[in-house]
Homo-oligomer: A and B are copies of this chain.
Amino acid sequence: MLNPNDLIVDGWDISNLELDAAMKRAQVLDVDLQKQLAPFLKGIKPKPSVYYPDFIALNQKERANNVVNVDSAKEVDTNRKWQDVETIRSDIQNFKKQHNLEQVIVLWTANTERYSDIIDGVNDTSENLLKSIQENHPEVSPSTVFAVASILEGVPYINGSPQNTFVPGVIELAEKNQTFIGGDDFKSGQTKIKSVLAQFLVDAGIRPISIASYNHLGNNDGYNLSSPKQFKSKEISKRGVVDDIIESNQILYNEELGKKIDHCIVIKYLQAVKDSKVAMDEYYSELMLGGHNKISIHNVCEDSLLATPLIIDLVVMTEFLSRVSYKKDNSNEYHNFYSVLTLLSYWLKAPLTKPGYKVINGLNKQRLAIENLLRLLVGLPINNELRFEERLV
């Protein structure tokens, strides 16, 4: 596997702050550590990024001082979005050339956008999508512009935010170009624990009847999510996590007992707590004979410090998976994996799947998939926990 120290990192940002100043603004790292890191970050400025104000919260406007195609931001220019695709493509090419890289991977870790409407004739096929971009259609989001540019450049694209970047036209485009995509939304904290605990309870025959999830955070992510449309994207991403768990146990969730969990999700922006995100979850479950079980979880963490290792993991794993090839027993032809890298779902809250397949949210299943693939590739027997050596005479 790739050694993370061999990665060359660059990026786009609608804010032009140099990285040392951005680190200071973010107030995540200890001040003393900031001072040690600043000399290495000074002078690094992100490339101008794509900014369509309608897609992120209004409150982000004051940050947007580093924008490509700024004149056409007035949106007079009818093919502005296509120009943006070309700018990003050229950025990718230059970055690759400049550092003499073997492989580029693009990962969206920017603001949560609002959902894009899926409209027939607009973003439903790859052809329509490309046409819509050329016609500057208002329903094409910045993240989709990045995804399309990456696909056309043949580089993998990972979406770490909850919005539906991967409209059907994008997925089709990736399939056609045989490039890799993966998403959505980093699974760093509350949702990850929820997928573990809800699965655990249901597996144990304990029946959750309500889950209340409250969050507050004071970083820019939270500031953007304080806007209803962006929150909506996040809520959808967070809500799905228990769906397949409910489906997995039709003894606990049936017509008679009810087929759902009362599930509320709240995110509040409280500036005072900065990056120190607080997540509170309360699971209320039924036991036998009228009993109840209540589990309350209170989780405090520096959100960014949980997310950053996921970014590295996703990049290392994507690079690795992009190099795996296989052939069927009776064939001589080697293939790569299917475009949507569902093996990345261990790190992602709302896993993108191959159209027609069910989402697997259970964290342990996701992990076992990776573990067993790696074992297979190095020739180890897969892990089935049967351990007959200790169970038989």
Interface residues of A (CB under 8 A from B): 28-33, 35, 192-193, 196-197, 200, 203-206, 209-210, 212, 214, 216, 218, 262, 264, 266, 268, 270-273, 278, 280, 282, 284, 287-302, 305-306, 308-309, 326, 335-338, 342-343, 353-354, 357, 360, 363-369, 372-373, 376, 382-387, 389-393
Closest 10 CB pairs of A and B: A291-B305, A31-B32, A210-B272, A369-B385, A293-B301, A209-B272, A291-B302, A287-B305, A32-B32, A368-B385
A273 to B353, CA, bound (A): 35
**Contact indicator B386/A376 (Cβ below 8 Å):** yes
Give the secondary structure class of A's interface.
mixed
Q: Which residue on chain B has the smallest CB distance to residue A369?
A: B385
**Contact indicator B342/A391 (Cβ below 8 Å):** yes
Residues of B contacting A292 with CB < 8 Å?
301-302
How many Å from the CB of A295 to the closest CB on chain B?
5
Residues of B contacting A387 with CB < 8 Å?
342, 360, 369
Residues of B contacting A210 with CB < 8 Å?
216, 218, 270-273
**Contact indicator A293/B299 (Cβ below 8 Å):** yes
Residues of B contacting A192 with CB < 8 Å?
200, 204
**Contact indicator A338/B299 (Cβ below 8 Å):** no
Residues of B contacting A365 with CB < 8 Å?
385
**Contact indicator A216/B335 (Cβ below 8 Å):** no
**Contact indicator B391/A338 (Cβ below 8 Å):** yes
A393 to B178, CA, bound (A): 10
Residues of B contacting A31 with CB < 8 Å?
30-33
A35 to B365, CA, bound (A): 44
Residues of B contacting A309 with CB < 8 Å?
205, 288
Contact of A337 among B368, B382, B392 (CB under 8 A): B392
A289 to B31, CA, bound (A): 12
Residues of B contacting A203 with CB < 8 Å?
367
Contacts A210-B272, A288-B309; A193 near B32 (Cβ below 8 A): no
A328 to B199, CA, bound (A): 36
A204 to B364, CA, bound (A): 11
**Contact indicator A212/B32 (Cβ below 8 Å):** no
How many Å from the CB of A240 to the closest CB on chain B?
17
Contact of A268 among B28, B264, B296 (CB under 8 A): B264
How many Å from the CB of A321 to the closest CB on chain B?
9
Contact of A300 among B35, B270, B294 (CB under 8 A): B294
Residues of B contacting A206 with CB < 8 Å?
306
Residues of B contacting A366 with CB < 8 Å?
385
Q: Which residue on chain B has the smallest CB distance to residue A368?
A: B385
A280 to B268, CA, bound (A): 14
**Contact indicator A200/B196 (Cβ below 8 Å):** yes
**Contact indicator A293/B300 (Cβ below 8 Å):** yes
A262 to B390, CA, bound (A): 31
Contacts A297-B295, A363-B200; A289 near B390 (Cβ below 8 A): no
How many Å from the CB of A235 to the closest CB on chain B?
13
**Contact indicator A296/B293 (Cβ below 8 Å):** no
**Contact indicator B299/A268 (Cβ below 8 Å):** no
Residues of B contacting A338 with CB < 8 Å?
390-393
**Contact indicator B270/A268 (Cβ below 8 Å):** no
A80 to B304, CA, bound (A): 58
Residues of B contacting A264 with CB < 8 Å?
216, 268, 270
Contacts A290-B33, A363-B200, A386-B382; A335 near B393 (Cβ below 8 A): yes
How many Å from the CB of A342 to the closest CB on chain B?
6
How many Å from the CB of A32 to the closest CB on chain B?
4
